[in-house]
């Protein structure tokens, strides 16, 4: 289905309409779930390239897979991703210190986690959005909201306007929707930065493996297909303005020096600076209401955390699932519905954000006797419960 240059006229008969702002993981999932219930959905994405910021790799825990199965992309994920055989902690020289199976927090019928190339996940979601019949406009943003008790009049960057029953802001960590509705909470850096890059999968790597210590806080990799892995190195945050993107490959190679095992093979593949990504770890949680009137936040726009639990995508996907469940299950779309959405999501999201930040802080502080296994077990066990 080609992107429409203009939005179609709304059907008569009281069909509900939702605007989804942001074509990332949570926005795409929400669009599909709402369309399945017969709700008319328009999706706008600021980037003209829907896959431009997809990233290199992603670890999808069981609770993320649970939602993605409902969205209809699990089969593609299982085909194109890699169901890792547990997790191992290694010494800097590559010696295995500890290996274990992971909790199947999505249920016994789902893998504990699947790693995959993030652009491939994005493409699967894009294909599902297109198949759903949602109307998509790329290179387009919402520039103004005018609300009343029945809906939202939205003005777009191309000069068009349209009225919706609800607007969902799924436009990421630095959400413009959030600021447009007057929510002032902003992400705060935790003091850590992460280098990420894809690489060919070394033979024998069939699980996620991490090294704590050495030149970095964490040096790890996760298989993302039969042929690829997603590598990452976590260090104290640097001044991003001082980094030269043309030297990113040199930086990640230098950081990986001193790590043994398959890192010696991985290091040789870090040659293209454009394939390397550097970002900070942020903590973000909107404690107060996630909506103003009929505009509501979803995913990273409302919360984000360091990837120490690999739960960022899962929390965003759960948002989409819960919001879609409420919108499709109630006759009345009102303040109570959006308040209930916030009440269901906040305690669970806060638990994950706080635990993820705590793990990162223990590494920053060099705490050697921290109860990392206990914190991980308590948090992941709680996530086995449905959101």
Above 80 in pLDDT, residue 189? yes
pLDDT of res. 4? 34
What value does the mean pLDDT of the chain take? 94
- Which token pair is 9? 């006229």
pLDDT, one tens digit per residue, over 312-325 is 999 999 999 999 99
For residue 64, which phi and psi values (nearest 5 degrees)?
A: -70, -40
**3-state class (DSSP) for residue 243:** coil
Residue 301 to residue 320: CA distance in whole angstroms: 12
Could you say which of 3.30.9.30, 3.40.190.10, 3.40.50.970, 3.30.565.60 is the CATH number of the domain covering 57-116+188-281? Answer: 3.30.9.30
Count of CB atoms situated within 10 Å of the CB of 34 = 25
For residue 41, which phi and psi values (nearest 5 degrees)?
A: -125, 130
pLDDT of res. 14? 61
Mean pLDDT of 207-214: 95
- Which token pair is 127? 């294909």
Contact 29, 8 (CB under 8 A): no
Mean pLDDT of 295-315: 97
Q: What share of the chain is helix, strand, coil (3-state, %, to 5)?
A: 35, 30, 35
Residue 261 to residue 220: CA distance in whole angstroms: 12
Q: Strand 277-285 and strand 208-213: pairing? A: unpaired
- In sequence order, the 6+-apart residues with CB closer than 8 A to the CB of 241 are none
Strand-pair partners of 254: none
Nearest residue to 229 via CA among 243, 210, 250, 247:
210
Question: What is the band of 56 on the pLDDT scale with cuts at 50, 70, 90?
Answer: confident
Contact 50, 138 (CB under 8 A): yes
Contact 380, 104 (CB under 8 A): no
46 DSSP assignment: S
Mean pLDDT of 118-123: 94
Above 70 in pLDDT, residue 3? no
Count of CB atoms situated within 10 Å of the CB of 210 = 15
Q: Strand 152-156 and strand 291-292: pairing? A: unpaired
Count of CB atoms situated within 10 Å of the CB of 250 = 14
Question: What is the band of 84 on the pLDDT scale with cuts at 50, 70, 90?
Answer: confident
Residue 269 to residue 159: CA distance in whole angstroms: 46
pLDDT of res. 52? 63
CA 12 centroid distance within chain: 36
* Domain edges within the chain: 17-54+119-187+284-366, 57-116+188-281
Above 90 in pLDDT, residue 246? yes
Residue 269 to residue 94: CA distance in whole angstroms: 18
Does the pTM surpass 0.75? The reply is: yes
Count of CB atoms situated within 10 Å of the CB of 86 = 14
Above 60 in pLDDT, residue 342? yes
pLDDT of res. 325? 98
Residue 66 to residue 61: CA distance in whole angstroms: 9
Return the residue matching tokens 């033979």: 203
Residue 21 to residue 23: CA distance in whole angstroms: 7
Query: Where does residue 147 rank: exposed (0-12), middle (13-18), buried (19+ CB within 10 A)?
Result: middle
CATH H-level, domain 17-54+119-187+284-366: superfamily = FAD/NAD(P)-binding domain (3.50.50.60)
Above 70 in pLDDT, residue 286? yes
Length of the chain measured in residues: 387
**3-state class (DSSP) for residue 99:** strand
């Amino acid at each position: 289905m080609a992107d429409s240059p203009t939005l179609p006229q709304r059907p008569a008969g009281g069909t509900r309409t939702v605007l989804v702002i942001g074509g990332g993981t949570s926005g795409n999932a929400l669009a599909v779930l709402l369309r399945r219930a017969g709700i008319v959905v328009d999706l706008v994405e600021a980037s003209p390239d829907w896959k431009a910021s997809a990233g290199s790799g992603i670890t999808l825990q069981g609770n993320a897979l649970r939602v993605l199965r409902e969205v209809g992309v699990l089969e593609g994920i299982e085909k194109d991703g890699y169901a890792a055989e547990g997790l191992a902690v290694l010494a800097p020289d590559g010696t295995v210190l500890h290996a274990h199976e992971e909790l199947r927090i999505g249920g016994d019928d789902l893998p504990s986690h699947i790693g995959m190339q993030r652009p491939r996940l994005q493409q699967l979601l894009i294909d599902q959005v297109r198949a759903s019949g949602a109307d998509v406009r790329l290179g387009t943003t919402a520039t103004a909201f005018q609300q009343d008790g029945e809906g939202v009049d939205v003005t777009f960057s191309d000069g068009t306007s349209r009225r919706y029953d609800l607007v969902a802001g799924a436009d990421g960590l630095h959400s413009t929707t959030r600021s447009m509705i007057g929510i002032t909470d902003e992400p705060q850096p935790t003091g850590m930065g992460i280098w990420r890059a894809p690489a060919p999968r070394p033979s024998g790597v069939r699980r996620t493996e991490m090294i704590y210590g050495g030149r970095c806080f964490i040096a790890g990799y996760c298989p993302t297909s039969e042929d690829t892995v997603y590598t990452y190195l976590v260090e104290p945050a640097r001044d991003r303005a001082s980094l030269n993107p043309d030297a990113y490959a040199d930086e990640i190679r230098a950081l990986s020096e001193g790590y043994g095992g398959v890192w010696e093979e991985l290091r040789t593949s870090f040659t293209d600076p454009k394939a390397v990504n550097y970002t900070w770890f942020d903590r973000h949680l909107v404690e107060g209401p996630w909506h103003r009137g009929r505009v509501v936040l979803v995913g990273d726009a409302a919360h984000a955390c360091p990837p120490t639990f690999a739960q960022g995508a899962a929390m965003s996907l759960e948002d989409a699932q819960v919001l879609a469940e409420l919108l499709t299950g109630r006759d009345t779309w009102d303040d109570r519905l959006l308040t209930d959405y916030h009440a269901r999501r906040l305690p669970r999201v806060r638990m994950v954000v706080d635990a993820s930040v705590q793990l990162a802080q223990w590494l920053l502080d060099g705490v050697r006797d921290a109860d990392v296994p206990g914190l991980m077990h308590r948090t992941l066990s709680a996530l086995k419960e449905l959101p």
